[in-house]
Structure 1
Amino acid sequence: MATRLDRQGVLTRDRPPLLSVVIDEYVLRRRISGPEVMREQLLHLVKLGSALPRVRIQVVPLSAGAYAGLGGPFVIATLPGGEDVVYVEGQLHGQVIDRADYVRQMVEVWESIRGEALSQQQSLDLMAEVAETWT
């Protein structure tokens, strides 16, 4: 856990990276721990998304139905040289892919997912609202 908390420090350094995250509303509502922990986690996300200008958190609402993000989680990272890579994580392993055609396809999937998501402010409001249901 300390390692995860240490990694968050990168978001507050002098030149933080842009972190843009889209999560499914079901994630906000699925009980993983006790209600107080769920509430604290959601309020922490709201705080990060409100206080740090280079952290963007959006939520795909339940009303979206089926959308491209249901294919599973992935990360698109831009390396220092400017090239993008995709990290796909499975239950047993993760894989970094740098093939241009695959990266291009995943960027299109990412844009589709973002198109289904609420705005940043709507997402923060929804997370705060759901956090209050965990009391």
Structure 2
Amino acid sequence: MRSRELDPSASPLDYYGYELRRAREAAGLTLAQLGSAVFCTGSLIGQIETAARVPQRDFSERLDAALGTDGLFSRLVGLVLRNQLPSWFQPFAELEAKATSISTYQAQVVYGLLQTPRYARAVLDAGLTERLDEQVAARLERQRILTREQPPLVWVVLDEVVLHRPFGGREVMREQLMHLLSFQGSREVRVQVLPLGVGQHPATAGGFTVMRFDDHADITYSENYDSGFMTANSSIAKDCWHRYDHLQAAALSIEDSAELIARVREERYAEKPGPAGSPVA
């Protein structure tokens, strides 16, 4: 059966599929043979070649090894996954990847850069997200900026409510809070918690993010359920920084925040013994 022809300029996904078919045919491999080499089915290879499926990063790395393509697909997959993000969110993700510092207040969920895979899936699923696998992969792809040679400084203030809202259940939350604790001592990622006891604070309208760059004015970002608002207006940025300073002053210290996260993890999400004494989630 003749596979449909792709227009490589149509989208990053089409370009990826076009290049994959070209590289496979140049290597003289069938779909099944390449699938065997990268530990998947020939059907999956065909679906990716025709832009019917979105490739993942580990798959792309195996392709480069099998086809000797010098990192081509590992580079392309970043563009493909970013393109899976909602169109209104993509401009923010592009700037987030270029920022030298990111300061964010989150009132509902853990900041996307600090989410575990299972927590991210639960959050996206709760938002009735379509193409859940692709959206989770795209969110995790954003996190690669934390492991690059010069990562941004990321300062996160979480409302304590975030720790108590059990996305995904007890086991997922236990894992997520442990992940937050793993940033203790990090020079690039700082986490503070705004405790429930704080009454009035200057971010009652919801979460927001401020980003700084080496060669660009500061950017502020906020969103609702289906759109985001981003601006380089200097007066808005100044106001956001002022509000953020107040939030940080009202929040617990980094050390006290870690103690609170650990306490919530133990008291709220600890494993419960089953009937035979074995732990259950």
1:70 maps to 2:204: yes
User: Shift in Å at residue 28 of structure 1?
Assistant: 0.3
Partners of 1:51 and 1:69 lie apart in 2 by 27
Equivalent position amino acid for 1:4 in 2 = R
Q: Secondary structure at the match of 1:125?
A: helix
State the match for 1:26 in structure 2. 161
Larger mean CA deviation between 78-87 and 120-129 belongs to 78-87
User: Shift in Å at residue 59 of structure 1?
Assistant: 0.2
Partners of 2:260 and 2:146 lie apart in 1 by 23
State the match for 1:129 in structure 2. 263
Partners of 1:3 and 1:92 lie apart in 2 by 17
What is the aligned-residue identity percentage? 37
Q: Secondary structure at the match of 1:69?
A: coil
More strand by share: 1
Partners of 2:233 and 2:248 lie apart in 1 by 22
Equivalent position amino acid for 2:162 in 1 = V
User: Shift in Å at residue 66 of structure 1?
Assistant: 2.5
Q: Return the TM-score normalized by structure 1.
A: 0.92
Equivalent position amino acid for 2:220 in 1 = V
- Name the count of aligned residue pairs: 134
Larger mean CA deviation between 55-64 and 3-12 belongs to 3-12
Q: Return the TM-score normalized by structure 2.
A: 0.46
User: Shift in Å at residue 6 of structure 1?
Assistant: 2.3
More relative contact order in 1 or in 2 (CA 8 Å, sep 6+)? Answer: 1
Partners of 1:30 and 1:10 lie apart in 2 by 27
State the match for 2:177 in structure 1. 42
Q: Deviations over 1:68-106 (max 9, x none)?
A: 122211110112315211011112210111111111111
Partners of 2:243 and 2:174 lie apart in 1 by 30
Equivalent position amino acid for 1:110 in 2 = Y
Partners of 2:194 and 2:156 lie apart in 1 by 11
1:4 to 132, 139, 146: 139
1:57 to 184, 187, 191: 191
> Which structure has the bigger radius of gyration?
2
**Unpaired runs of at least 5, structure 1:** none
Equivalent position amino acid for 1:113 in 2 = L
Partners of 2:165 and 2:192 lie apart in 1 by 17
1:104 maps to 2:238: yes
Superposition RMSD in Å: 1.4
Q: Deviations over 1:34-91 (max 9, x none)?
A: 11111111111111x2153110100001111231122211110112315211011112
Equivalent position amino acid for 1:129 in 2 = R
Moved over 4 A (4+): none
